[in-house]
Amino acid sequence: MTDLISRKTGRAGHITLNRPKALNALSWDMCLAIEACLDAWRDDPEVAVVMIDGAGDRAFCSGGDIAEMYATARNGDYAYGQRFWRDEYRLNAKIAEYNKPVVTFLQGFTMGGGVGVGCHGSHRIVCDSSQIAMPECSIGLVPDVGGSLLLAGAPGFCGTYLGLTGARMTAGDAIFAGFADHYLPEEIWPELQAELAKTGDISAIPKTLAPESRLAAAQPDIDAAFGQAEIGQILTHLAKSDAPILTKAADAMARNAPLALHVALDIITAVRQSPDIRTALDHEFRYTFRCGAQGDFVEGIRAAIIDRDRNPSWRHSDPRQVPQADILHMTAPLGEDALQWEDQS
């Protein structure tokens, strides 16, 4: 079984992530294969639209396949992860900037690396099972794959809330926050895909009413807390609130890596001032390039995925006491190591 199925069907180029038992987790080879398809179809007159979906009913893509990143970083080889992220981020930018419509079908889990493939498309479709999230701070990373751009563009400070807590979005939340565009019951997706393949016309996507969003209902509480300028100020506001969504937010942030929380807030704030996919990816790569040797990535993966003890020993024990010098080091420009856009590894 191949991990990625690509084909041309009528007027459509169609990509299916095909690792259902692994919740369609995105491998490095899959990133490169998706990019190759996009490159081949960019100037193909037969292809009017690109469709991307995931096999099975549990996930579009649950995230990046980070087992090899962990193994190599644990042995002191940080170059593997750095090359992986370079190629993945280039793919994310390519999807966001693509010259043809990219329609994505986001059933089940769409998280982390899945957001990078699924939520930069031009037409992003969700259904009743959709659960979309950027939970990177819980494993010592920051919201990446261009996710900081989506978070920065969410209404009010909902994106800051989503990035610092890793909270999951329903279909209605995802549309409200700008991670998706259309709600359609999953049972009619095959019919829509067949029509898109037949005509290449995105006007075939039905316009339906989005489900209600808890984020929209809670935005005043979210904005009051997450509109604060610093992590310490956010935590102080959360501690004083009895709003259920903020109580859960406080619990989530208490579990997350303190350094990642500070850097994530800085990145989202910076991208809010310059909302561009390449700017977002550049800021994210400054952290991910360094996170193996100087961040909490290895420990975060150990605690969440390898040993599964859910008891990480972060480099900083208190998010209120992370030295500014440590934050500045992880967010500084990379110079000659900065993210490039042209060459594959």
Does residue 183 belong to any structural domain of this protein?
Answer: yes
Q: Which domain range does residue 87 map to? A: 4-337
Q: Tokens for 150, please give them.
A: 């989506």
Does residue 127 belong to any structural domain of this protein?
Answer: yes
Does residue 337 sit in helix, strand or coil?
A: helix
pLDDT tens-digit readout, 77-87: 999 999 999 99
Does residue 88 belong to any structural domain of this protein?
Answer: yes
Does residue 192 belong to any structural domain of this protein?
Answer: yes
Q: What is the mean pLDDT of each run of 10 residues along the chain (345 residues)?
A: 93 98 96 97 98 97 88 90 96 98 98 97 98 97 98 98 98 98 97 98 94 96 97 97 96 98 98 97 97 93 92 95 97 94 61
Does residue 344 belong to any structural domain of this protein?
Answer: no
**What's the CATH number where 304 sits?**
3.90.226.10
Does residue 342 belong to any structural domain of this protein?
Answer: no
Does residue 343 belong to any structural domain of this protein?
Answer: no
Q: Dihedral angle at the C-alpha atoms of 97, 130, 221, 272, nearest 10 degrees?
A: -10
pLDDT tens-digit readout, 118-164: 999 999 999 999 999 999 999 999 999 999 999 999 999 999 999 99
**What pLDDT is recorded for position 345?**
44
Does residue 345 belong to any structural domain of this protein?
Answer: no
Please list the alpha-helical segments (H only) found in 128-243. Answer: 147-153, 158-165, 171-177, 189-199, 214-226, 231-240
User: How far apart are the C-alpha atoms of 157 and 143, rounded to whole Å?
Assistant: 15
Q: Tokens for 145, please give them.
A: 């794959």
Task: Indicate the pairing of strand 123-126 with strand 102-106.
Answer: parallel
Q: Dihedral angle at the C-alpha atoms of 220, 226, 232, 236, nearest 10 degrees?
A: 20
- For 72, 155, 217, 308, the CA distances from 173, given in Å and listed in that order, are 36, 11, 10, 29
When divided into structural domains, the chain yields a total of: 1
